[in-house]
C-alpha cells in the first residue's frame, strides 16, 4: 500500500462528511492533481467509496470495514508514521512470520497482522483459534537493547498498557490474569505471547504477539471455548471499528515499548498491573517447575513475579507458571 494513499485518507477522514478539493490535497501532499486522481482510483479499487463533485472536491462516503493497511496507517498517531506495517490475508503464525523477517534482516520495529492464522499459537504450545472473522492477530518485532534479566516484566508491562487502552477505547473494564491473559469476569478475550532470541546475556530480537477477540466466530465459540471465551464487542455491547482500534493498539504498544526500553521507575509496573489484576485476593493454585503452590494471590512485584501467600503465611514468588483459580472462587 502506497503510504501517500494513507496521507490522502488521513485528510479525507479529517474532513469526513465534508468535501476536500483535489487541488488542496495536491498542494498539501506536494503532488499533481492527476496523481491525486490516480491514488483515489486505487483506493476505489480497494473498496473505498468517494463522491467527487466539480468545484467542491472529494468526499468519503464509505470505507472498508475489514482490516485495511491504508486505513490503519491513516489512523496511526503521527509519531508512528515511519513504522512499517504488513497485513497478510493468511499466515501460519504472525509470531513466526515476524521471527522469519527479523532473521532475514528486516529493519525493526515492524508489525505483522494477519486476517487469519493457520497455526496460531498461545503459551505452552496451545492452539490460538485464528479464524478470518475480523479478530486481531498481530505481532510486533523489536530489537531492544535491554538486559535479559528484564524480560520477565516485558509481557506484564505490555499487558497492563493494553488493558488501559482497551478500557479507554471500548469503555469497558478488562482484567489481567498473570502472566499474559486479558479477561472479563471468568472469560478470556485476549492473550499475549512474547518470544525472544538471546545472544549470551543480550536480547538479539523479540517478537510480541497479541491475539484479541473482537467478535465471536460466526457460528459461535466452538467447544471447549464456549464457556471460556468472550469478545470485546460482546463486552462493550457495541461495534468496534477494527481499523481505528488496531491503530490505537499499535500506537499504545509502541509507546509502552519505548518506555520499557528507557527503563521503568520502581513501582510503576506493579502499581499498574495490580490495578487490573483479577487474581489478587483470590485463592489460586499455581504449577511451576514441577511443583504446586496453593494460596492467595497477592499481586506482583517489580520483577514481575506473582506473589502467593500460602496458608502458613509465607510469601512465595513465582517467576513462571500456570495459574488456576481454586473452584471455590469460581462458584
Where does this chain bind ligand BTN (CB under 6 A)? 93-95, 117, 120-123, 126, 128, 137-139, 180-181, 191-193, 209-211
Looking at beta carbons only, is 60 or 232 nearer to ligand BTN? 232
Looking at the Cβ atoms of 36 and 207, the one nearer to ligand BTN is 207
- Nearer to ligand BTN (CB atom), residue 120 or residue 295: 120
Q: How many CA atoms lie within 13 A of 291 on its CB side?
A: 8
Cell 493454585, residue located: 285
d(CA 243, CA 250) in angstroms, rounded, equals: 11
For residue 304, the minimal CB distance to ligand BTN (Å) is: 16
Select the residue whose beta carbon is closest to ligand BTN and give its number: 191
Instruction: State the distance between the two ends of the chain, measured CA to CA, in whole angstroms.
Output: 50
Instruction: Give me the sign of the Cα torsion angle 286, 288, 292, 298.
Output: negative
**What minimum distance in Å lies between the beta carbon of 8 and ligand BTN?**
30
What distance in Å separates the CA atoms of residue 190 and residue 331, rounded to the nearest whole number?
23
If the CB atoms of residues 130 and 243 are measured against ligand BTN, the closer one turns out to be 130
CA distances to 149, 175, 192, 208 from 274, in Å: 21, 10, 18, 22
Please, what is the minimum distance in Å from the beta carbon of residue 3 to ligand BTN? 24
User: How far apart are alpha carbons 189 and 228 in whole angstroms?
Assistant: 9
The nearest distance, CB 16 to ligand BTN, in angstroms, is 31
Residue 295 CA to residue 273 CA, distance in Å, equals: 19
Q: Which is nearer to ligand BTN, 86 or 93 (CB)?
A: 93
Quote the least distance from Cβ 255 to ligand BTN, whole Å: 20
Amino acid at each position: 500500500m502506497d503510504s501517500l494513499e494513507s496521507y490522502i485518507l488521513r485528510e479525507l477522514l479529517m474532513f469526513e462528511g465534508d468535501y476536500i478539493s483535489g487541488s488542496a490535497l495536491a498542494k498539501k501532499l506536494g503532488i499533481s492533481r492527476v496523481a491525486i486522481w490516480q491514488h483515489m482510483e486505487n483506493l476505489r479499487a480497494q473498496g473505498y467509496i468517494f463522491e467527487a463533485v466539480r468545484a467542491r472536491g472529494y468526499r468519503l462516503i464509505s470505507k472498508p470495514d475489514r482490516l485495511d493497511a491504508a486505513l490503519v496507517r491513516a489512523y496511526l498517531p503521527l509519531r508512528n508514521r515511519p513504522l512499517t506495517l504488513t497485513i497478510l490475508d493468511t499466515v501460519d503464525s504472525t509470531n513466526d512470520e515476524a521471527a522469519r523477517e527479523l532473521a532475514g534482516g528486516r529493519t525493526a520495529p515492524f508489525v505483522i497482522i494477519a486476517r487469519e492464522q493457520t497455526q496460531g499459537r498461545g503459551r505452552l504450545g496451545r492452539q490460538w483459534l485464528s479464524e478470518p472473522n475480523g479478530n486481531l492477530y498481530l505481532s510486533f518485532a523489536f530489537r531492544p537493547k535491554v538486559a535479559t534479566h528484564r524480560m520477565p516484566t516485558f509481557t506484564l508491562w505490555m499487558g497492563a498498557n493494553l488493558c488501559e487502552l482497551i478500557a479507554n477505547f471500548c469503555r469497558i473494564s478488562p482484567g489481567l490474569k498473570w502472566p499474559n491473559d486479558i479477561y472479563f469476569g471468568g472469560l478470556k478475550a485476549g492473550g499475549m505471547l512474547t518470544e525472544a532470541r538471546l545472544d549470551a546475556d543480550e536480547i538479539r530480537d523479540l517478537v510480541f504477539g497479541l491475539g484479541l477477540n473482537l467478535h465471536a466466530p460466526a457460528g459461535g465459540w466452538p467447544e471447549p471455548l464456549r464457556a471460556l471465551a468472550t469478545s470485546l464487542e460482546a463486552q462493550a455491547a457495541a461495534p468496534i471499528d477494527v481499523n481505528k482500534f488496531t491503530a490505537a493498539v499499535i500506537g499504545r504498544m509502541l509507546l509502552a515499548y519505548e518506555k520499557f526500553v528507557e527503563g521503568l521507575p520502581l513501582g510503576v509496573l506493579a502499581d499498574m498491573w495490580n490495578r487490573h489484576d483479577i487474581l489478587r485476593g483470590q485463592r489460586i493454585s499455581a504449577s511451576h517447575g514441577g511443583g504446586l503452590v496453593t494460596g492467595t494471590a497477592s499481586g506482583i512485584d517489580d520483577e514481575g513475579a506473582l506473589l502467593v501467600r500460602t496458608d502458613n503465611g509465607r510469601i512465595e514468588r513465582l517467576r513462571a507458571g500456570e495459574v488456576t483459580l481454586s473452584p471455590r472462587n469460581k462458584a
